[in-house]
Amino acid sequence: MKERLLLIIKEIWAYIKSLASIAEDTDSETTISNITKGVEFRADNVWVLFFAIIIASVGLNVNSTAVIIGAMLISPLMGPIMGLGLSIGISDGELLRKSLKNLFIMIAISLVASSLYFLISPLSDAQSELLARTKPTIYDVFIAFFGGMAGILAASRKQEKVTIVSGVAIATALMPPLCTAGYGLGTGQLIYFFGAFYLFFINAFFIALANYLMVRYLQFPRKRFLDPATERKVHRSIAIFTVVVVVPSIFIAINVVRETSFDNNAIKYVNDIQNNPVMQNVQIISQKRTFSSKGNEISLSLIGEPLTSQQVAVLQKRMEEMGLKNTKLTIRQAGGASLDVETQAKMLQDFIEDKERTILQKDSLIQDLRQQIRLEQKKAEITAQQLAQELHVLYPYIKDVSMAEAVKVDVKNNTTDTIPTLNINWTMQPTEAEYQHLQDWLKVRLKTDKLDIVSK
């Protein structure tokens, strides 16, 4: 019995290993060749990148997710970034230099194109799609890293999975941050430029890191040199470059994690104190979270009955309880005697701007939902029309058909259910056998066991 159990465990382990093994189907030579070609920067790549950047900028400007996704699919930005990870993994100094040079050229073209577009665009307001690309979070790190893993794994297969590579281009989102950086330059708002370019750097670095780790795991052959001195020089240069890039990036990643943690705790804190008894006669009209090496701060603008020092102390203590130690709490109260008219006006202006941003985001969501509803309605119209034509062929004496999803209420059991319901107008009533055949056929055709038919 024990031997049988061990045999089953071994078989399960062997099966798991076979599922997890990715080395067998690896084509390192073709992968190196394809990535090296992707690094090369030709005239057609320049124009494709320029057009893609303009398309993405338009998408960000008009808040269209579909347009942004389309631009990401045609962008050649992934080539040099994958080349960076590969070149370090196989100790190819020439490929590293070429990847860096072409990446810098692509970044310059992207910033120039997007800046020019936003400089001449009549739409100057920052939409929700654009605002979402101004600040990196830990989730961007995860997406870039695992997206890079998926990209190099797909590229290394003997039969390349084009859908995976396309999905990686969308998920890792390299273009929107560059376009947002261009928006910052074009409109003179440098805070957008630095935030978005920081996000782009985070994405690019972790994609390259993922490529490097996967290349070493798959044991791609390192480049060999006839001259040992040249080989040592190349290895030394790559090691220095790796240290120069990796060490700051580690601190950047740690900072992103801390900032994300602070933001999450701050959001929970604000939601929590809204239900605190000391805030019973007070309403938060705006909030601001500041993460800084000099000290974190949560600034709240309140309206209503001014808080006493004891009440503020309660809110400060609650902050420490929710993991926000060493965070300063600043409270501004509209209507308080300590505030001048200008400060109160600014608080109300901040409140109005915050509400406008919320309304803008909701309008965008409503627009997307309306578009989905229109698509579903169109799909339902096509299905109903096709079904009516098929029914007319089977039963020529059907005059007209209407179809809808009806809500059926079971009064006795107090339950509701949505059931497809067909209203059929006959020129001649069918026999009982024909009616039963019609029911059976419709259940198969509509892939449902529940169906109501109303005959006229």
Which among 363, 343, 362 is positioned nearest to 351, based on CA atoms? Answer: 343
Mean pLDDT of 240-251: 69
More confident residue, 286 or 136: 286
Mean pLDDT of 120-133: 58
More confident residue, 132 or 93: 93
Contacts of 103 (CB under 8 A, 6+ apart): 80, 81, 84, 204
- The pLDDT, as a whole number, for residue 126 is 52
Q: Does domain 377-455 have CATH number 1.10.1740?
A: no
Question: Across-strand partners of 406?
Answer: 419
Q: What is the DSSP string of 76-100?
A: -THHHHHHHHHHHHTT-HHHHHHHH
The angle formed by the CA atoms of residues 172, 176 and 182, to the nearest 5 degrees, is 140
Q: Which CATH architecture has domain 275-361?
A: 2-Layer Sandwich (3.30)
Mean pLDDT of 251-263: 77
Q: What is the maximum alpha-carbon separation in the chain?
A: 95
Give the Å distances, CA to CA, from 220 to 86, 148, 233, 254, 320.
Answer: 9, 17, 21, 30, 50
3-state secondary structure of 324: coil
Check: CB of residue 289 under 8 Å from CB of residue 298.
yes
Q: What percent of the chain has pLDDT over 90?
A: 0
DSSP state of 277: G
Q: Tell me how far apart the alpha carbons of residues 162 and 181 are, in angstroms, rounded to a whole number.
A: 29
Same fold flag, 19-223 and 377-455:
no
Local confidence band at 350 (pLDDT 50, 70, 90 cut-offs): low
- The pLDDT, as a whole number, for residue 337 is 46
Check: CB of residue 170 under 8 Å from CB of residue 73.
yes
Q: Structural domain boundaries of the chain? A: 19-223, 275-361, 377-455
* Out of 242-256, 300-314, 428-442, least confident range: 242-256
Residue 406, phi then psi, degrees to nearest 5? -100, 140
The domain 19-223: what is its CATH number?
Answer: 1.20.1080
Question: Taking 50 as the threshold, does the pLDDT of residue 333 lie above it?
Answer: yes
pLDDT digits (tens, 9 = 90+) for 115-124: 888 888 766 5
Local confidence band at 231 (pLDDT 50, 70, 90 cut-offs): low
Q: Tell me how far apart the alpha carbons of residues 347 and 413 are, in angstroms, rounded to a whole number.
A: 54
Q: Tell me how far apart the alpha carbons of residues 277 and 275 are, in angstroms, rounded to a whole number.
A: 6
